[in-house]
Structure 1
């Protein structure tokens, strides 16, 4: 049941039939309720894409709020929506059921503020040393007190470390303390700058990976299994094609008996078709 908050002719709030009415950032919105059925492969891929994206963005709320706040001003969208959209469009890799994050392509902020030059990252036994060129020019909009926002992601343990006001542009260097466990974990490091008056931000800079790229064990297991199946297929294809080609070199009367040869030929043609299909996928056709 929906409620008309502003009388009979006002925008309803709630469910009427198979339509749900609600407000989003002050704007009236409605959506249909579909009858759930068995999801298609495309739907399953979309579900996994959303799950991977949501998992990556967990614990990054304050970071992306700062990064996309200017982009959402005057719109009905919010920072989380923009971050989800950016990642799903540009920062996912692989096909279902092995979709994962392409960390190099992640953007968690968008703006025109100029990032510093000569950004560097060095790991020590106690944490991360971040350094950059502290020079700035007033004519470009850069200021000495632009604040550096830092995010360190630890995919293997599902943890994020966020520093919203890590340092000022003029500092040129800053150190992030990490625990002994964190120092040893795979890390993906991002930063951007935000003006002190909050009127501008920079695009995200991917500082890079430390301690090797993490891969979900389920994806690793799937790849190992696929490699094993591919090896079995290649061995069988080689065996059957060798037998078939040897038979084709003989005169019809000298070949295997009719039924045995037909079975061999049928299996060869099926494997040949599968081999060609695999080759086309490998080449990207």
Structure 2
């Protein structure tokens, strides 16, 4: 309950009817109470929050990597937020409330540099080896472009990433995987970044692998 201190025209503090009174630096003020939202948790709102949550969970382990992979899209938003927006718009599957991420539609790097060609993946020896054809010399691809490698473990919410991997002309890169990842389904991505860091390629999804 509010208290009127100087009559009906004076200052007051607290709530009186539909207004709230108070003072700031000796100046009395009053404001109307905010209107209550009739349904603050509509199905549409909960649906969007659910999509946002699963996208955040999927991308968060690669936050540092995405700063490089999506840096060309950081003009009006952060690289991570750019990746979030793209994933929300392109990689969500299912119907409310059973949403999921389609890993093959996620881009962990994005740009106009020529992407990897004829990719493959091998899991022998306890490591993951990513392989690709050397397509340097085609379009804007150069032999010295560096691999952008991301191996994501969505089960544990962890990732092994490299933003300055093997050169394009090398054709492969081996990645050491934590021992406690054995038996987990992992998602593998490969992109490229130019030697000067000014150009980035769209990532390629190499598939799900289990060691």
Q: TM-score range by the shorter chain?
A: 0.7 to 0.9
Match of 1:61 in 2: 63
Indicate the SS of the match to 2:46.
helix
Match of 2:19 in 1: none
Alpha-carbon offset, residue 34 of structure 1: 8.4
Q: Distance in 1 between matches of 2:108 and 2:173?
A: 21
Indicate the SS of the match to 1:94.
strand
- Larger RCO: 1 or 2 (CA < 8 Å, sep 6+): 2
Match of 1:154 in 2: 153
Q: Distance in 2 between matches of 1:135 and 1:39?
A: 51
Is the contact made by 2:61 and 2:152 (CA closer than 8 Å) also made in structure 1? no
Match of 2:31 in 1: none
Q: What TM-score, normalized by structure 1, do the two folds share? A: 0.58
Q: Distance in 1 between matches of 2:105 and 2:43?
A: 25
The answer for unaligned runs of 5 or more in structure 2 is: 1-33
Q: Distance in 2 between matches of 1:92 and 1:124?
A: 32
Q: Does 1:208 align with 2:210?
A: no
Alpha-carbon offset, residue 66 of structure 1: 1.0
Is the contact made by 1:127 and 1:179 (CA closer than 8 Å) also made in structure 2? no
Q: What TM-score, normalized by structure 2, do the two folds share? A: 0.77
RMSD between superposed Cα atoms in Å: 2.0
Bigger radius of gyration: 1
Q: Distance in 2 between matches of 1:194 and 1:204?
A: 10
Q: Distance in 2 between matches of 1:146 and 1:126?
A: 27
Match of 1:188 in 2: 187
Task: Please list the CA deviations of residues 69-103 of structure 1 after superposition, one character each: whole Å capped at 9, or x if unmatched.
Answer: 1122xx32221221111111110111222111111
Match of 1:14 in 2: none
Indicate the SS of the match to 1:178.
coil
Cα distance change, pair 35–55 in 1 and its aligned pair in 2 (3 A): farther
Aligned residue runs from structure 1 range 40-51, under 5 A: 40-51=42-53
Is the contact made by 1:127 and 1:183 (CA closer than 8 Å) also made in structure 2? no
Alpha-carbon offset, residue 59 of structure 1: 2.1
Q: Distance in 2 between matches of 1:120 and 1:84?
A: 27
Is the contact made by 2:143 and 2:167 (CA closer than 8 Å) also made in structure 1? yes
Indicate the SS of the match to 1:132.
strand
The answer for unaligned runs of 5 or more in structure 1 is: 1-32, 213-285
Alpha-carbon offset, residue 35 of structure 1: 5.4
Alpha-carbon offset, residue 156 of structure 1: 1.6
Q: Distance in 2 between matches of 1:161 and 1:94?
A: 28
Q: Distance in 2 between matches of 1:209 and 1:188?
A: 5
Is the contact made by 1:148 and 1:168 (CA closer than 8 Å) also made in structure 2? yes
Q: Does 1:38 align with 2:40?
A: yes
Is the contact made by 1:83 and 1:108 (CA closer than 8 Å) also made in structure 2? yes
Cα distance change, pair 95–34 in 1 and its aligned pair in 2 (3 A): farther
Greater helix share, 1 or 2?
1
Task: Please list the CA deviations of residues 33-92 of structure 1 after superposition, one character each: whole Å capped at 9, or x if unmatched.
Answer: 9855531001000110111111111121222111111122xx322212211111111101
Q: Does 1:114 align with 2:109?
A: no
Greater strand share, 1 or 2?
2
Cα distance change, pair 34–81 in 1 and its aligned pair in 2 (3 A): farther
Aligned residues: 177
Is the contact made by 1:130 and 1:174 (CA closer than 8 Å) also made in structure 2? yes
